[in-house]
């Protein structure tokens, strides 16, 4: 058999297996069964001296890997904040993987670079960010925070007469970092990776929903970066970003928004007021693999002044075609080489349109409210104001709540994780997938309530 027909057979086999996986996702246990998990041990083998047949390699991946995967792509996965890729984005992901483009330079990959530029301009419009905003596609909100804060670091040091990209941080003037007490741990990690320190921060207290209290901000003096948050990982609450911008107005402080998922509230007329003032910030980080439901991995860093982002990220070399009239994708990202993540974002936005994104966001929030109402009616304590797509619920004391969560996970109807919220162990329900229907919510509610009652849980 020629190479051509072997490749065709292999890719058709992969497509057939992928389609079968997606078609069975809604009907299977969300958590993999223990025997399937045990079977992953079969992957652990010595490096083969001679290569194996390609069809066998694929078959092994499917036969062992597929049953051992958790059904994140299905409609009843409510763990962490994880969307399930929209079919069109999976399709464009498959096709663009076939292209195998390295999106470094516009001149070399014009189609990919143009698609990314279009996707970025649509996002800027969707979030109502300043039209001059620059941006880059990265792996997720962690790296989006890192990238945007690298631009912030550039600007605040440049304003203090210090070229941080050139001479680094040793001997640099001090910078004040203002961070919410409820900032996501990856925000602190980003600050650490930038050499600004995870702990050298001024922490601002938050209210009962995890929102930064703007009145507690110190007067911003000298080089200052203020990190706000749109979407608390537990409650979904959004910081009062407008009030925070008011508090530092005129000080020259850089305001950043970690909007991994909460930023998407700006795409909904019903929710938009929660993000009031967000557009006044200097930089923003968000994920597309969460609420836009594109395949992993996909995040975006936005910076109002594109030149600050390029100053932190752009490089040049004799062998690279960086002299161009076009936007060079790698001028705005930490990576030089990377895949065309923006293609799936373009596909999601083109397929959904502005109205479809709004419907997706509003739909997830409506499902979250139904979860909260159903659990409250059954006598369990919902610990947060359900303002977005997040519900935090207690099934009694910490031990009982953990026991119930474990039993819900192994029941397999749905999957939710554990957290600690305001000192109380709780279950987090995050509704982030396009695939979740009202029926999925009712089915999951029944499983949660039946499991909790069977274990004798009651609210305290």
Q: Which residues bind ligand PLP (CB under 6 A)?
A: 81, 140-142, 184, 186, 229, 231, 233, 258, 260-261, 287, 299
- Backbone Cα Rg of the chain: 23
Task: Name the helix (H) or strand (E) containing 399.
Answer: helix 398-411
Nearer to ligand PLP by Cβ, of 287 and 403: the residue is 287
Nearer to ligand PLP by Cβ, of 32 and 299: the residue is 299
CB of 155 to ligand PLP, least distance (A): 21
Nearer to ligand PLP by Cβ, of 81 and 382: the residue is 81
Strands (E), 267-380: 283-287, 299-303
CA torsion through residues 215, 217, 222, 224, sign: negative
Nearer to ligand PLP by Cβ, of 185 and 353: the residue is 185
CB of 79 to ligand PLP, least distance (A): 11
CB of 102 to ligand PLP, least distance (A): 22
Nearer to ligand PLP by Cβ, of 141 and 429: the residue is 141
Nearer to ligand PLP by Cβ, of 287 and 411: the residue is 287
257 beta partners: 228, 284
Give the full edge-to-edge strand order of the sheet including 224-229.
134-138, 299-303, 283-287, 254-258, 224-229, 176-180, 202-204
The Cα–Cα gap between 121 and 349 comes to: 11
100 beta partners: none
Give the full edge-to-edge strand order of the sheet including 390-394.
381-382, 390-394, 424-430, 417-421
Contact in structure between 148 and 196 (CB atoms under 8 Å)? no
CB of 19 to ligand PLP, least distance (A): 27
Residue 37, number of CB atoms within 10 A of its CB: 14
Residue 406, number of CB atoms within 10 A of its CB: 13
Contact in structure between 242 and 213 (CB atoms under 8 Å)? no
Rounded to a whole number, what is the distance in angstroms from the first to the last CA of the chain? 68
Nearer to ligand PLP by Cβ, of 299 and 342: the residue is 299
CB of 258 to ligand PLP, least distance (A): 5
Task: Name the helix (H) or strand (E) containing 454.
Answer: helix 438-454
Nearer to ligand PLP by Cβ, of 260 and 274: the residue is 260
The Cα–Cα gap between 311 and 332 comes to: 9
Nearer to ligand PLP by Cβ, of 141 and 391: the residue is 141
**By beta-carbon distance, which residue lies closest to ligand PLP?**
140
CB of 364 to ligand PLP, least distance (A): 15
Contact in structure between 165 and 311 (CB atoms under 8 Å)? yes
CB of 183 to ligand PLP, least distance (A): 8
CB of 139 to ligand PLP, least distance (A): 7
Nearer to ligand PLP by Cβ, of 229 and 384: the residue is 229
CB of 388 to ligand PLP, least distance (A): 11
Greatest Cα pair distance in the chain: 73
Question: How far is CA 104 from each of CA 57, 94, 137, 225, 309, rounded to the nearest angstrom?
Answer: 30, 20, 11, 30, 16
CB of 359 to ligand PLP, least distance (A): 22
């Amino acid at each position: 058999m020629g190479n051509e027909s072997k490749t065709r057979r292999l890719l058709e086999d992969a497509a057939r297996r992928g389609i079968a996986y997606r078609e069975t996702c809604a009907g299977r246990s969300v958590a993999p069964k223990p025997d399937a998990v045990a079977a992953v041990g079969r992957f652990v083998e010595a490096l083969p001296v001679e290569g194996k047949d390609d069809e066998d390699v694929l078959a092994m991946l499917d036969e062992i890997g597929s049953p051992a995967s958790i059904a994140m792509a299905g409609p009843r996965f409510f763990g962490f904040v994880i969307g399930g890729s929209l079919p069109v984005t999976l399709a464009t992901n498959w096709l663009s993987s076939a292209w195998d483009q390295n999106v470094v330079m516009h001149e070399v990959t014009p189609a990919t670079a143009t698609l990314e530029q279009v996707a970025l301009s649509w996002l800027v419009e969707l979030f109502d960010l300043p039209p001059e905003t620059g941006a880059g596609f990265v792996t997720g909100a962690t790296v989006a925070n890192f990238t945007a804060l690298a631009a912030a670091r550039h600007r605040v040091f440049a304003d203090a007469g210090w070229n941080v990209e050139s001479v680094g941080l040793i001997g640099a003037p001090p910078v004040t970092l203002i961070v919410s007490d409820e900032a996501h741990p990856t925000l602190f990690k980003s600050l650490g990776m930038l050499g600004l320190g995870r702990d050298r921060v001024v922490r601002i207290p938050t209210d009962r929903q995890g929102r930064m209290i703007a009145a507690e901000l110190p007067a911003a003096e000298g080089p200052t970066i203020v990190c706000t948050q749109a979407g608390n990982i537990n409650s979904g609450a959004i910081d009062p970003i407008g009030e925070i911008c008011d508090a530092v107005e005129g000080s020259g402080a850089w305001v950043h928004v970690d909007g991994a998922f909460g930023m998407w509230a700006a795409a909904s007329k019903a929710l938009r007021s929660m993000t009031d003032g967000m557009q006044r910030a200097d930089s923003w980080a968000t994920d597309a693999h969460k609420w836009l439901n594109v395949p992993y991995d996909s995040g975006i860093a936005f910076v109002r002044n594109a030149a600050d982002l390029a100053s932190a990220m752009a490089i040049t070399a004799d062998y690279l075609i960086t002299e161009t009239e076009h936007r060079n994708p790698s001028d705005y990202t930490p990576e030089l080489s990377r895949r065309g993540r923006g293609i799936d974002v373009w596909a999601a936005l083109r397929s959904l349109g502005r109205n479809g994104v709004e419907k997706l966001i509003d739909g997830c929030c409506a499902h979250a409210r139904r979860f909260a109402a159903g659990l409250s009616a059954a006598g369990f304590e919902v610990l947060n104001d359900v303002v977005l797509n997040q519900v935090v619920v207690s099934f009694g004391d910490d031990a009982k709540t953990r026991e119930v969560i474990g039993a819900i996970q192994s029941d397999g109807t749905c999957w939710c994780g554990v957290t600690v919220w305001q000192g109380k162990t709780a279950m987090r329900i995050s509704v982030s997938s396009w695939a979740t229907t009202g029926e999925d919510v009712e089915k999951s509610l029944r499983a949660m309530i039946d499991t909790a009652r069977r274990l004798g849980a009651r609210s305290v």
